[in-house]
Each structure stands twice: as C-alpha cells, then as structure tokens.
Amino acid sequence: MKCSIASDKFRRKFAEQIEEICGERISLCYQCGKCSAGCPVAYAMDYLPSQITRFAQLGLIDKVMKSSTIWICASCQTCSVRCPRGIDLAKVMDALRILAKRKGIVPKEQIAPLFDGIFLGSIEKYGRLNELSLITKLNMASGRPFKDVSLLPIMLKKGKIKLKPQKSNPGKEVRYLMRKVEKLESK
C-alpha cells in the first residue's frame, strides 16, 4: 500500500489526540519489538503492535485506523507490562479504537465493534449479559445467522445458557456510568 509520511504538525496532532484520550506518549517508543513478540494474538493481526506504534508516530492515521490490529487486540496488557519505555500499549489500542469510531472508520469485516455494541446493550437492558441474545444478534448482524447453532442444544442441556434472559436490576447507576463513558468517548 502506498503511503506518505505526514507533516510534523499532523504527526504531533495525532500523537496529542492519542495522549489526550489515554495519557500515553507514543513518541517514547523506540521500536524494540518486545510488545509484538509477546502479543498472543499478533498472528491474526495485519500489522504488529510495534508497527502500529510506528505508523502512529509517523502520523499515518488511515493505515492505523483501517488496520485489523486495533480491533483484534484483546486488551490483555502483555505488551504494556513488557514495554521497556513504560508505554501502556493496551491503552493506546483503546484510544485508537475510540478515534476510529469518532472518525467513522470501522472496517465492516470487524466483529469486535459489533460485539462491543451488542454486549453493552445487553448490560444496559438486563443489568447483566444475556448470552443467547448476544450470540443471536451478533450472528444476525455479521451475516452468519447459523454460526455455532449446533452447539445450542448441548449448552442448554448442560445449563451453560438460558433461554429466558436473567435480569438483575441495572438501576440508574449502570445507565449513568454508560452515559458518562459515552460523553467522554465523544469528546
């Protein structure tokens, strides 16, 4: 893919946006690669975590925002504890997802943003996760309506999943927190 390095001003602005959201300074990264070497899901990413940091340093916003890496990241924090420069890369990945959502750049083939939305919707509605509703909605939304459907009878039999949603009182507190986070994310 052809891409040109952004101007100094543009690069700084992108780094500042990331820092503003998560408090992490990507300029500290010196490309040792320890984050990538330890990342348990690097094999599934299109770019390694350390490459994403480098692209971000260079202001290559499109390349970063359109990569599968930021959505595949499982927020396990392995990279964060390994980084010799003390960069919490898991937080940087969070910030990049927030920025991608703000800019409306969420690749269609990515399941993670769909999953996040449906998961949070379930928490808001039932006060806890309703697995059956989550799986059904996710399958429908991602165009794979029968994915894993053969497992349903087994899971029902073993009591691992319930047909009737279990509710706990979501209360005002959960909704208050959700609105607060939404407000912070949209800044």
Can you tell me the distance from the alpha carbon of 98 to that of 93, in angstroms, rounded to the nearest whole number?
9
Q: Among 18, 61, 83, 135, which residue sits at the site for ligand SF4 (rule: CB under 6 A)?
A: 83
DSSP 160: S
84 burial (CB, 10 Å; 0-12 / 13-18 / 19+) is: exposed
Q: Among 22, 35, 65, 100, which residue sits at the site for ligand SF4 (rule: CB under 6 A)?
A: 35
Please, which residues have CB within 8 angstroms of residue 37's CB and are 6 or more apart in sequence? 82
Can you tell me the distance from the alpha carbon of 119 to that of 166, in angstroms, rounded to the nearest whole number?
15
Binding residues for ligand SF4, total number by CB under 6 A: 28
Q: Among 49, 57, 71, 135, which residue sits at the site for ligand SF4 (rule: CB under 6 A)?
A: 49
Say if residues 28 and 86 touch (Cβ distance below 8 Å): yes
Taking the complex as a whole, the smallest distance from the CB of residue 52 to ligand SF4 amounts, in Å, to: 8
Taking the complex as a whole, the smallest distance from the CB of residue 46 to ligand SF4 amounts, in Å, to: 13
By beta-carbon proximity to ligand SF4, the closer residue of 11 and 137 is 11
The residues in 95-114 that bind ligand SF4, with binding defined as CB under 6 A, are: none
Q: Does 176 bind ligand SF4 (CB under 6 A)?
A: no
DSSP 149: G
Q: Among 5, 74, 177, 184, which residue sits at the site for ligand SF4 (rule: CB under 6 A)?
A: 74
By beta-carbon proximity to ligand SF4, the closer residue of 88 and 131 is 88
Can you tell me the distance from the alpha carbon of 117 to that of 167, in angstroms, rounded to the nearest whole number?
19
By beta-carbon proximity to ligand SF4, the closer residue of 47 and 122 is 47
Q: Does 85 bind ligand SF4 (CB under 6 A)?
A: yes
By 3-state DSSP, what share of the chain in percent is helix, strand and coil, each rounded to 5?
60, 0, 40
Say if residues 3 and 59 touch (Cβ distance below 8 Å): no
Q: Among 18, 21, 22, 39, which residue sits at the site for ligand SF4 (rule: CB under 6 A)?
A: 39
Question: Interface with ligand SF4 by CB under 6 A: which residues?
Answer: 29-35, 38-39, 41, 49-50, 53, 73-79, 82-85, 87, 89-90, 93
